[in-house]
Amino acid sequence: MRRQGLRSLVLGVLAMAAIASAAQAQGPVKIAYVDPLSGAFAATGENGLNQFRFAADQINRAGGVLGRQLEIVPFDNKISPQESLIQLKKVIGDGIQFVFQGNSSGVAHAISDAVQKHNERNPGSRVLYLNYSAVDPALTQEKCHFWHFRFDAHADMKMAALTDVIKANTKLKKIYIIGQDYSFGKAVAAAAVSMLATKRPDIQIVGNELHPIGKVKDFSPYVQKIIASGADAVITGNWGADMIGLAKAANDGGLKVPFYTYYAASDGVTAAIGAAGIDRIRLVHESPAANPTAPKVVGDYIKAYKKFYPNGDVNQPRIHTGLNMLVLAIKKAGTTDVDKVAAALEGMEWTTLNGDRVVMRRDDHQLLMPIYISVHTNKNIVFDFDNSGLGLVNENKVEIDKATLPAACKMDRPS
Amino acid sequence: MFELVLFSLLNGLVFGMLLFMLSSGLTLIFGMMGVLNFAHAGFYMLGAYFAYTLTGYLGFWPALVAAPLLVGVLGALVERYGLRRVHRFGHVAELIFTFGAAVVIEEVVQLAWGRPAKSYEVPEFLDFPLFRLFQGSFPAYKAFMLLISVAIFVFLFAVLTRTRAGLIIQASLTHPSMVAMLGHNVPRVFMVVFGIGSALAGLAGVIAGPVLGTFPGMAQVLGSIVFVVVVIGGLGSVSGAFVASLLIGIVQTFAVALNISLNSVLAAAGIPLDAQGPLHDLWKVTIAQVAPIMPYLLLVLILIVRPTGLFGTRSR
Amino acid sequence: MSRRYGVWIAAAAILAVLPHIVRTPVAVPVMSQMGIAVVFALSYNMLLGQGGMLSFGHAVYFGLGGFIAAHVLNLAGEGVFWLPVPFLPLVGGLGGLCFGALFGSFSTTRAGTVFAMISLGIGELMASSALILDKFFGGEEGITTNRVKAPTLLGLDFTTDRKVYYLIAFWAFVAAALMYAFSRTPVGRMANAVRDNPERAEFVGYSQRWVRFVSFCVAGLFAGVAGGLFALNYEILTAENMGLAASGSVLLMTFIGGIGSFFGPILGAIVFTFLQSMLSDYTGIWLLYLGLLFLATVLFVPAGLAGILMLHVPAWRAGRPGRLVGPYVVAGLLTLVAAVGVIGLLEMVHFVVSAPASRTTKRLFWVAVNVRTLWSWLAFAALAAAGALGFRWAAPRAAAAFAEASRPAEAR
């Protein structure tokens, strides 16, 4: 009698396990989002998370992927490379196979390195790292590997476009470079110096400054230095709280020269720059501004987004691109097996929401795309940022073939 | 060059006076009770957040008065129901308590107001450049900050040296038991001083919030520097805190302005320096990059050489 | 004597079988984290609990030990010298010892507040220097290392999390045993004496400065060992590892565990790490709960969790633990009710402040609660009040039962 009881118990447990694992197989496709949700850069991280959630909702309403829904699982890394690795262990422990991250190339280096090590040591539980915003060129050059994909033009590609615009402006003679003291800030400075030397050797670099990231609260001393140097223009890669601080101090200190930036819009920056920066602040980015005109599908997307997140902006269309390309790769591979998905993703061509053709280059997993330059202004603004009435208007477009720089990656592929 | 020096001096002065507002309260509290209040910067943060919320309901000037009062009351409560309990366990326990209070204050702020920074802005009637010199301008709000800080200094000085209450406070600083025997309620004096110190920190937060940012990490940004100021100036000495605050404020602001590195100094003197060696980081570093660590360097040096600080009298 | 050894043998056995008992995939990394925290907390308690020295910069030795270990591991991986991975924590310990001696030479002249301030200054100094000394500290990105590239010993490689756990468990056991042994040596005992009455200790013949210095160096050594283990586990070290947050965490966990006994920090490290990794999955305000727990410990139970356990030893010895069960269960349930109420209110506040305006329900205690209606708030407030009042009624009975149970056995 006891033995019979034991057998039925065992069978019952096995049955439950079978049901549970079957249910697991039909569960959502989880996608981890590892970015700061607290600390100095929380606003940027939250904005990004909302854009991921919105894009995922859209995909789910259209049927999801392989009959399963997408689920975005956020992990707060507090902008720290170390905390990111601790969170990555959780991601892997939870069985999530796809990780998106973008804020801070410092974090990106740590995650990329850790993902490569983990995948090499644990072939049975590989994860794919999708970098949607960390643009230190090294990530697809010296540090490239098979399981990393980047969906944003890297710092050198953007600087090439920016320096073309600077080249055309003959009034500029002295330029000041200021940036955050980490891999990305240094990459921007190095690219600016070398590209300006080739394109406009007559321009003098009157300052090349690095400040601690996320720690400087009062940028007035830096603004004073810029003024004292007699610079005609400023180049900076600052983002998030550092761009807000710099913009505020520049307004307070009366600095009125043109700024050529990577991230001087949205997440509070547009509001901080305010009217003082009209027609003066320029931005280089991977998708066109929605002003003065945008394709209907883009306009509808932004309007729908603002209904859900009235205080947010669609300032990172690369999120939509990255998530959709991943979903397409999973569909093409027919499985969520990471190696097969990666094989499907590399070389993929895609048309973005606003109609640009982009290509995921097979050699280095860098997405190739046209690059846009826009200006901060209050004229012809249909879609503003930060609910401020101010926004970005398109000025220049660099076509994809001109925006592409050669690959410099030696990639080992898994056999 | 001249305008760089002038503006750096002014900015340094503003920052220094802000540090003084924070450190005066801290040094008074230490001088009186022997407690180095770790939560002091937390009261600074609370002042900024209270002002941010109250300005929405009451306007700028009422908030300027109400927020520090609120923080002062909170400080008095913390002293009465928290610090007094652990007092009998010794100084180490008191330090640990204030450390825990600092953590809880920061977490409560995040709970009540959320994690993203708050847009606590300079009030419109103060948001204009006070004067322009060549290309730079000095905002009126910073002049306002300077005004308030100086007023507080004068007020504190007057109260401590000229009023009866101030004399009792000064006496309790050095001879608490004697003052108690003379019939004064010394524990109540302590509570009042703690409250006033916290209110000063809150006031510093109210006026600094728009300039230095209102976000949950703001206590940590200034917290360590304030300790440095207090120790360098001498624990318990308000005039020491004044001198040290100005010193640190001006030195830090000027340091950012200078791009001189050891390398460039030596190169100017004609000595070539090894650019690739393992210690080459030390040679190529500029004073601007070293600026953030200079206060801590000073702190450690003072503690080794003269632990009582520049003006301190007690050695605890 | 055999009972003492018995505790250690049992601990070793538990460490060995733990990964087989708890099988969820996320458990092993957490257990490794706990092992590192245990070593770090024990080293910190050598200063705080045994020496009476409150340090706000102990993470400096942890971090420096870790950085040195990481660099050495990288060099070993490149073949510069032969150092197999299992010996790496020794390198970290050596680094911690050297810097402990260096900074301790001037920090330990005084105890008390001055010592605390110097430790804070050194901590902030080192953390800020990390950005300046790029080559050694790696700047913002930190230093990464690879434990698989280094030479192996007896064919042991450390590719999986479980193998790393066993290495960490081994070193944690050895470090704990050594630190316990140190606390039993004359110098270790003198550290207690210097903590309690420095002047009198000098009359025994030991210089208080010397004793503090030795304690500081040994504490630095074991902090460095913990740093080396960290380097092996996470393969990354950044400036944060030396900062105030890390020093603050070790203070929190040691104090919550109880600074008065040897196993207090072990308990504190385990509980803290568990709460930190598990709690953060369920609630965004876990650090608030930890901070409140810390404050409650400081105010009401300065002896910590270990202290609470030790208080019940007389009852256990007198053979009357059973008497406590009833009143404790009642008081415990009422506290639980009050806690549910308070936690519910705090979580709802957090939700209202942080969630987008469109969302109205939150999963609290496995129930979907509508946060936007008044009833939810009243319900949780009622729970909190009822629990608190009930506790006030039940507490004296529990206290009386405790006093009765702890009464020494009657002489016959």
Per-residue pLDDT of A1-13, as tens digits, reads: 445 444 544 444 4
Assign A192 a pLDDT band (cuts: 50, 70, 90).
Answer: very high
The angle subtended at Cα B274 by Cα B272 and Cα B278, nearest 5°, is: 160
Decide if C2 is inside a domain: no
Is the predicted pLDDT of residue B268 greater than 80, yes or no? no
pLDDT in tens, A81-98: 888 998 998 899 889 999
The percent of residues in chain A predicted with pLDDT above 70, rounded, is 93
**Residue A281 near residue A258, CB atoms below 8 Å:** yes
Burial of C238 (0-12, 13-18, 19+ CB in 10 A): buried
| Cα A224 from Cα B92, distance rounded (Å) | 44
> Are B4 and A225 inside 8 Å of each other by CB?
yes
**Residue C65 near residue C96, CB atoms below 8 Å:** yes
Alpha helices (H) in C52-160, listed in sequence order: 59-78, 88-107, 112-132, 134-137
Same domain, C268 and C382: no
SS (H, E, C) B50-99: HHHHHHHHHCHHHHHHHHHHHHHHHHHHHHHHHHHHHHHHCHHHHHHHHH
Closest Cα in chain A, distance from residue C395 (Å): 39
* B264 part of contact set with chain A, CB < 8 Å: no
Same domain, C86 and C219: yes
Nearest to B107 among C131, C251, C285 (CB): C285
Q: Where are the beta strands (DSSP E) in chain B?
A: 129-133, 136-139
Residue with tokens 């000041």: A176
Least confident residue range of A174-188, A320-334, B163-177: B163-177
- Helices A81-93, A105-121: axis angle to 10 degrees equals 40
| Confidence (pLDDT) at A23 | 42
**Residue C150 near residue C77, CB atoms below 8 Å:** yes
| Confidence (pLDDT) at B120 | 83
| Confidence (pLDDT) at B280 | 57
Same domain, C295 and C355: no
Residue that finishes a domain, picked among C291, C310, C329:
C310
The angle subtended at Cα A81 by Cα A77 and Cα A86, nearest 5°, is: 60
> Are B97 and C128 inside 8 Å of each other by CB?
no
Q: Name the neighbours of A, counting chains with at least 3 Cβ pairs within 8 A.
A: B, C
Kindly list the residues from chain C whose CB atom is less than 8 angstroms away from the CB atom of residue B97.
Answer: 295, 298-299
Decide if C5 is inside a domain: no
* A38 part of contact set with chain B, CB < 8 Å: yes
Same domain, C168 and C305: yes
Decide if B267 is inside a domain: no
> Which residues have C-beta within 8 Å of that of residue B141, sequence separation ≥ 6?
B122, B126, B127, B210, B211
* C386 part of contact set with chain B, CB < 8 Å: no
> Which residues have C-beta within 8 Å of that of residue C367, sequence separation ≥ 6?
none
Decide if C33 is inside a domain: yes
Tell which residue, A169, A237, A248, A227, has the closest CA to residue A203: A169
Nearest chain B residue to A78 by CA: give it. B115
Number of domains, chain B: 1
**Residue A161 near residue A371, CB atoms below 8 Å:** yes
| Cα C241 from Cα C247, distance rounded (Å) | 9
Residue that finishes a domain, picked among C255, C282, C310:
C310
Same domain, C157 and C182: yes
| Confidence (pLDDT) at B259 | 60
Same domain, C103 and C196: yes
Same domain, C325 and C221: no
Q: On the CB side of B225, how many CA atoms lie within 13 Å of its CA?
A: 25
Assign A22 a pLDDT band (cuts: 50, 70, 90).
Answer: very low
Kindly list the residues from chain C whose CB atom is less than 8 angstroms away from the CB atom of residue B282.
Answer: 132-133
Omega of the bond prior to A28 within 30 degrees of 0, cis?
no
Choose the mutation target among B29, B79, B99, B263 for the interface with C, i.e. most C CBs under 10 Å: B99
Same domain, C249 and C326: no
Mean pLDDT of chain B: 83
Residue with tokens 């101090």: A249
Decide if C412 is inside a domain: no
pLDDT in tens, A334-383: 999 999 999 999 999 999 998 999 999 999 999 999 999 999 998 888 89
> Are C25 and A117 inside 8 Å of each other by CB?
no
Same domain, C148 and C199: yes
Domain that includes residue C391, residue range: 319-406
Alpha helices (H) in A26-154, listed in sequence order: 42-61, 81-93, 105-121
Interior/surface letters C74-96, b for 16+ CB within 10 angstroms, e for the rest: bebbeeeeebebbebbbbbbbbb
Decide if B274 is inside a domain: no
DSSP state of C275: I
* A213 part of contact set with chain C, CB < 8 Å: yes
Decide if B222 is inside a domain: no
Choose the mutation target among C45, C120, C292 for the interface with B, i.e. most B CBs under 10 Å: C120
Q: On the CB side of B279, how many CA atoms lie within 13 Å of its CA?
A: 4
Tell which residue, A155, A75, A153, A186, has the closest CA to residue A316: A153
> Which residues have C-beta within 8 Å of that of residue B199, sequence separation ≥ 6?
B25, B68, B69, B71, B72, B75
Alpha helices (H) in A137-268, listed in sequence order: 155-168, 183-199, 220-229, 241-253
| Confidence (pLDDT) at B225 | 86
| Confidence (pLDDT) at C318 | 78
Same domain, C185 and C211: yes
Is the predicted pLDDT of residue A25 greater than 70, yes or no? no
* C251 part of contact set with chain B, CB < 8 Å: yes
Structure tokens at B91: 């100084």
Assign B67 a pLDDT band (cuts: 50, 70, 90).
Answer: very high
State the pairing for strand pair A281-285/A371-377.
Answer: antiparallel
> Which residues have C-beta within 8 Å of that of residue B55, sequence separation ≥ 6?
B63, B120, B123
Higher pLDDT, A6 or A393: A393
A255, amino acid identity: L
Domain that includes residue B27, residue range: 2-216
Nearest chain C residue to A92 by CA: give it. C26
C203 phi-psi bin (left φ>0, alpha ψ -120 to 50, beta other): alpha
pLDDT in tens, B167-183: 888 888 778 888 889 88
**Residue C150 near residue B314, CB atoms below 8 Å:** no
| Cα C322 from Cα C315, distance rounded (Å) | 9
Choose the mutation target among C140, C141, C161 for the interface with A, i.e. most A CBs under 10 Å: C140
| Confidence (pLDDT) at A12 | 42
Assign B274 a pLDDT band (cuts: 50, 70, 90).
Answer: low
Kindly list the residues from chain B whose CB atom is less than 8 angstroms away from the CB atom of residue A181.
Answer: 289
| Confidence (pLDDT) at C70 | 95
* C117 part of contact set with chain B, CB < 8 Å: yes
Q: On the CB side of B298, how many CA atoms lie within 13 Å of its CA?
A: 26
Decide if B258 is inside a domain: no
Residue that finishes a domain, picked among C261, C281, C310:
C310
Tell which residue, C281, C384, C294, has the closest CA to residue C340: C384
Decide if B40 is inside a domain: yes
| Confidence (pLDDT) at A374 | 92
**Residue A278 near residue A390, CB atoms below 8 Å:** yes
Decide if B8 is inside a domain: yes
Kindly list the residues from chain A whose CB atom is less than 8 angstroms away from the CB atom of residue C162.
Answer: none
Tell which residue, C121, C127, C91, C92, has the closest CA to residue C106: C121
Strand-pair partners of A75: A34
| Cα A339 from Cα C337, distance rounded (Å) | 50
| Cα C351 from Cα C354, distance rounded (Å) | 5
Same domain, C304 and C323: no
Is the predicted pLDDT of residue B316 greater than 50, yes or no? no
Q: Could you give the dihedral angle defined by the CA atoms of residues A279, A283, A286 and A288, in that order, rounded to the nearest 10 degrees? A: -10
Number of domains, chain C: 2
Cα-to-chain-centroid distance, residue A124 = 28
Nearest to C299 among B82, B107, B303 (CB): B82
A312 phi-psi bin (left φ>0, alpha ψ -120 to 50, beta other): beta
Least confident residue range of A402-406, B25-29, B187-191, C131-135: C131-135
Decide if C7 is inside a domain: no
Tell which residue, C210, C117, A151, has the closest CA to residue B235: C117
| Confidence (pLDDT) at A195 | 94
| Cα C276 from Cα C293, distance rounded (Å) | 13
| Confidence (pLDDT) at A311 | 81
Decide if B179 is inside a domain: yes
- Helices C27-48, A81-93: axis angle to 10 degrees equals 140
Provide mean pLDDT across the span A98-114: 93
| Cα A173 from Cα A193, distance rounded (Å) | 14
DSSP state of C272: H
> Are C131 and A212 inside 8 Å of each other by CB?
yes
Decide if C181 is inside a domain: yes
The angle subtended at Cα C193 by Cα C188 and Cα C196, nearest 5°, is: 130
| Cα A64 from Cα A1, distance rounded (Å) | 49
Structure tokens at C287: 């650090």
Decide if B262 is inside a domain: no
Q: Name the neighbours of B, counting chains with at least 3 Cβ pairs within 8 A.
A: A, C
| Confidence (pLDDT) at A16 | 45
Choose the mutation target among B8, B113, B131, B135 for the interface with A, i.e. most A CBs under 10 Å: B135
| Cα C31 from Cα C164, distance rounded (Å) | 10
Decide if C306 is inside a domain: yes
Per 3-state DSSP, chain A is made up of helix, strand and coil in percentages (nearest 5) of 45, 20, 35
Structure tokens at B280: 């080459």
Tell me the pLDDT of chain C (412 aa) as tens digits. 556 788 888 888 888 888 888 877 778 888 999 999 999 999 999 999 888 899 999 999 999 999 999 999 999 888 888 888 899 999 999 999 999 999 999 888 887 788 888 898 899 889 888 777 888 998 888 899 998 888 877 777 888 888 899 999 999 999 999 999 999 998 888 888 888 888 888 888 888 888 899 999 999 999 999 999 999 999 999 988 898 889 999 999 999 999 988 999 999 999 999 888 878 777 878 889 989 989 988 898 888 899 988 888 888 777 777 777 888 888 888 888 898 889 989 988 888 887 766 677 777 777 788 878 888 889 889 989 998 898 888 888 888 888 888 777 665 4
| H/E segment holding residue B190 | helix B186-212
CATH number at residue C114: 1.10.3470
| Cα A182 from Cα A180, distance rounded (Å) | 6
Decide if C157 is inside a domain: yes
In the three-class reduction of DSSP (H, G, I as helix; E, B as strand; rest coil), residue B1 is classed as coil
For the whole model, what pTM was predicted? 0.87
Same domain, C114 and C249: yes
Residue with tokens 């450049």: B129
